[in-house]
Amino acid sequence: MLCRTFHERISGPYDEVRRCIVAACQKDPHNDRAHVVAGQMYKRVGDERRTLAHFIKAYKINPRNVDAVRELRIAAMRRRDASLDAESAGFLARLFGLK
């Protein structure tokens, strides 16, 4: 339901969408799908720090969440081209065995 709501509302005002998704993450902070949707939203608006934070949270909650794993793998591949903050870079390196 959360993903459907996100996709239905993404064409609406960003602030309304953001409030809805942030509320979902706060209401149930252990919902990996809510964090994936939040990560997708922040990725869409170009907020790399929050994007990674939500995908990492989703992965830590559920390491089998394929969307979170996929997005973290993409981030790890891009890591070589752009610098990430030290915490995110370290987590990705440990997760995927990068140096």
Q: How confident is the model at residue 14 (pLDDT cuts 50, 70, 90)?
A: confident
Return d(Cα 59, Cα 54) in angstroms, integer: 9
Answer whether 37's CB lies under 8 Å from 24's CB.
yes
Average pLDDT over residues 53-70: 97
Quick check: 42 pLDDT over 70? Answer: yes
Residue 40's pLDDT is: 95
Q: Is the dihedral of CA 83, 42, 46, 68 positive or negative?
A: positive
Residue 28's pLDDT is: 96
Tokens of 40: 């997708």
The secondary element (H helix, E strand) that includes residue 65 is: none
- For the chain, domains (ranges, CATH) are 2-96 (1.25.40.10)
Residue 32's pLDDT is: 97
Please give the model's pTM, rounded to 2 decimal places.
0.70
List own/partner pairs for 74-80 with CB under 8 A and 24 or more apart. 75/51
Q: Within 10 A of 50 (CB to CB), how many other CB atoms are there?
A: 15
